[in-house]
Amino acid sequence: MDRYERILTLHRLLKSAHYPIPLSRLLGELECSRATLYRDVAFLRDALGAPIESAGTEQAAFRYEVGEGERFELPGLWLTSDELAALLALNELISRSGPGVLAGALAPFKARIEGLLSDQGSGKALPIERIRVIPWGERKLDQQVFRIVAGAVLERRQLRFRYRARTTNADSRRTVSPQRLTHYRDNWYLDVWDHDREALRSFAVDRIVEASSLDQAATDVSEGDLNDLLASSYGIFAGKPKAWATIRFSPHAARWVAEEHWHSQQKGEWLSDGHYELKVPYSNSKELLMDVLKYGPDAQIVAPIPLREEMKILLQLARDAYKSSGE
């Protein structure tokens, strides 16, 4: 940890502490020597004006003065290396949005971020071109539709649009109360209360056309109810879980699958033979089956039996397709 990060970490520790922090804890948090810590404390107090005081205890301890500490902030903008990396990634995300959605709205932020990134330490501009974000499966999005949808979400207004379902291409008109926008796997989805169907639904924004914001206030659904229906099952598909899938991975694939996040309620277990079993709740099997298929022979659905049989049918259909094309 360099001096810049030590000063920032020291400030945040003192800022959040309700009681004096012992010297031993500060040394452990900052990973430095006693002499270095005292120099940092002196710099924070004398050069930056921090209201640091030594506590009257048997061992050395420091804290911010009550009242003064709550008002004190470091001058300028201070970022840790993790925060700086996140800012670099955000800058790259804004850059690759190009002339499409959000680019115009985010342009002022992009300029500000680039200014901040060149104002760290020595003042030299950081090589932001060395941060690369690669989109995967990103679908074309109508910028005007996105702005109308996002505006209705933030302004809490009802929304009317025409929707073309991706799987069936069925066309329908909807009047909804938008609840939240979700960015999932490089695409945007809109969670809503559908007034015609009197139920929660989720729509792919790229399939929305002829969107218009209405004057009527949106009906709000609690976050708990939204998560119960729209976030409790695997993937983007809505619905409460109907079953738990058990997927067994080979020792080869287990090395990285064990560290992957598939679902907030997932359960993982190492088996004695080196295999790894992952359990996730699901409602609609489509996305889960696609994700398991990408592991090929290194993944096998163990349970439930209907899901296992569904996978067998998919594999047989794929095999038959290859037979047909080879003849």
CA 325 to chain centre: 41
Letter string b/e over residues 120-137, b meaning 16 or more CB atoms within 10 A of that residue's CB: beeeeebebeebeeeeee
Q: Which residues pair with 321 in a beta bridge?
A: none
The pTM is what?
0.62
Confidence of residue 308 (pLDDT cuts 50, 70, 90): very high
pLDDT above 70 covers a percentage of the chain that reads 78
More confident residue, 137 or 38: 38
Which distant-in-sequence residues (6+ apart) come within 8 Å of 274 by Cβ? Answer: 251, 254
CA–CA gap between residue 36 and residue 43 (Å, rounded): 11
Does residue 304 surpass a pLDDT of 60?
Answer: yes
Say whether pLDDT at 5 is over 60. Answer: yes
Nearest in space to 280 (alpha carbons), one of 316, 239, 242? 242
Lowest mean pLDDT among 36-40, 74-78, 159-163, 236-240: 74-78
Mean pLDDT of the 159-177 span? 90
pLDDT at 327 over 60: no
What pLDDT is stored for residue 127 in this prediction? Answer: 65
Integer Cα distance of 45 and 38 in angstroms: 10
Question: Is the model's pLDDT at 103 over the cut of 60?
Answer: no
Mean pLDDT of 138-158: 87
Residue 293 has a pLDDT of 93
For a pLDDT cut of 90, what percent of the chain falls above it?
Answer: 33
- Between CA 247 and CA 227 the distance in angstroms is 24
Instruction: State yes or no: pLDDT of 138 exceeds 90.
Output: no
pLDDT at 12: 87
Residue 99 binned pLDDT confidence (cut-offs 50, 70, 90): very low
Question: What is the average pLDDT across 42-54?
Answer: 88
Mean pLDDT of the region 154-174:
90
d(CA 163, CA 173): 6
Contact in structure between 238 and 283 (CB atoms under 8 Å): yes
| Structural contact between residues 140 and 187, judged by C-beta atoms closer than 8 angstroms | no
